[in-house]
Amino acid sequence: MNDLQSENISQSIQERRVVKRTPTSSTYTAEIKLSAVPIHQLKLRDSSLHGACLVVKNNSSIMDHLTVDQTLSVRFHSVDRSRPAGIFKIEIRHITEGNPGRFDGHYLVGVKIIERLTGN
């Protein structure tokens, strides 16, 4: 893929987002608990009121249990009290291999936030 194709793909992805996402700090995480799988705590790459992008190591056992269109309950944690925290119902919208560099060796899991189930 050449640079022009990458730029066009990047622009088309950005144009599909209804709400602008903002980068999150390293103190913002998502905790996922699935039956028969240990609890996984994942870093967030960016977030908005309606979505987020989770960063998952490509060799993580949780990847065997995540699929596009799957709905889950996830606990979001943040040290920053102005950011939403608590348990949310989410839907996985995409699972994409990370770009070489910062996210090499990871998957980026884009999620849509469906509803807040509980606070903190």
At 66, which CATH number?
Answer: 2.40.10.220
Domain count for the chain: 1
- Rounded to whole angstroms, the Cα distance separating 72 from 115 reads 11
The pLDDT-based confidence of 58 (bands split at 50, 70, 90) is: very high
Share of the chain above pLDDT 70, in %: 70
* Residue closest to 87 by CA, chosen among 95, 76, 98, 97: 76
Give the DSSP letter of residue 98.
Answer: P
Kindly tell me if the per-residue pLDDT of 65 is higher than 90.
yes
- Rounded to whole angstroms, the Cα distance separating 9 from 21 reads 17
Give 9-57 pLDDT, tens digit per residue. 444 444 444 555 555 555 678 999 998 888 999 988 776 767 888 999 9
Cβ count near 102 (within 10 Å): 9
* The predicted structure's pLDDT at residue 2: 41
Q: What is the pTM of this model?
A: 0.73
4 part of a folded domain: no
